[in-house]
Amino acid sequence: MIHIQEPKSPWEVVHMDWVTALPPSGDKGYDSCLVIVDRDRKTAILLPCHKDETAMDTAILLWSIVISHTG
């Protein structure tokens, strides 16, 4: 088995996954959640989304919320 190297700094390695099929909530009717976890600090960010978001929508959300605040 190959050992996976630990990240050298926070937000160097992230894991992302979707939680879908949630009941609509809020004024915008969010029905999904993008979960982003920093592997170094085990910190999670939960972002409300819609299940029909595209890859471009996800990239913009990731850039505007996560990368702009963490570097």
Q: How confident is the model at residue 71 (pLDDT cuts 50, 70, 90)?
A: low
Contact yes or no for 20/52 (Cβ under 8 A): no
Apex CA 17: angle with CA 30 and CA 14, to 5°?
125
Average pLDDT over residues 43-54: 93
> What digits encode the pLDDT tens for the residues 7-45?
888 888 889 999 999 999 989 999 999 999 999 999 999
Number of domains in the chain: 1
Range of the domain at 65: 14-70
Q: At 56, which helix (H) or strand (E)?
A: helix 55-61
Question: What CATH number is given to the structural domain containing 44?
Answer: 3.30.420.10
User: Does pTM top 0.75 for this prediction?
Assistant: yes
Residue 8 domain flag: no
Q: How confident is the model at residue 56 (pLDDT cuts 50, 70, 90)?
A: very high
- pLDDT > 70? residue 64: yes
